[in-house]
Amino acid sequence: MKETYDGASILLVDDDDIDAMSIERSVKRLKLSIPIHRARNGLQALEILRDGHTIKHPYIILLDLNMPIMGGVQFLQKIRKDDALKRSIVFVLTTSSADEDRVAAYNENVAGYIVKTDAKDGLNNIIKMLDQYWGVVLLPK
């Protein structure tokens, strides 16, 4: 696995502090130096993406669906209509395995739909998958 990401980063959009800390711990445990920025809801994520200073391309968004103020599906609908954000790479990372949630997410062209697990190894596998994704896929700058 590579150690740096040439400016690439993750925008984690999740209102759950425990899940956010677990993801950050997995990144550290795997010894990856990848910046993680966090928004607690879709509205805050839009503000971060649109301000142009907090996070720059290339980035991947890890998106929870069930959040207050603006949920994940509404966030996806907003970024897909925004010319500057519509090509954002988004992986849904949620507790929901409901078929209607998966359909709604894939209708907004997500790169993947991942159901959260409580197991430490589950998050490690997700972070490893993202690391491999970066190693294979060219992201827009």
Residues 6+ apart with CB under 8 A from 96: 65, 66, 115
- pLDDT tens digits, residue range 24-51? 988 888 888 788 999 999 999 999 999 8
Residue 28 main-chain phi, psi, to 5 deg: -65, -45
Question: Which residue, among 117, 76, 75, has the nearest Cα to 93 in the 3D structure?
Answer: 117
pLDDT per residue as tens digits for the range 47-94: 999 987 777 777 889 999 999 999 999 999 999 999 999 999 999 999
**Residue in 10, 76, 1 with CA at minimum distance from that of residue 32:** 1
Intra-chain end-to-end CA distance of the chain, in Å: 21
C-alpha 6/C-alpha 59 separation (Å) is 11
Predicted pLDDT at 27: 86
**Domain boundaries, given as residue ranges, for the chain:** 9-136
Q: Quick check: helix, strand or coil at residue 85?
A: coil
Residues 91, 84 contacting (CB under 8 angstroms): no
Taking the C-alpha atoms of residue 32 and residue 4, their distance in angstroms, rounded to an integer, is 7
In CATH terms, the fold of domain 9-136 is Rossmann fold (3.40.50)
By residue count, the chain amounts to 141
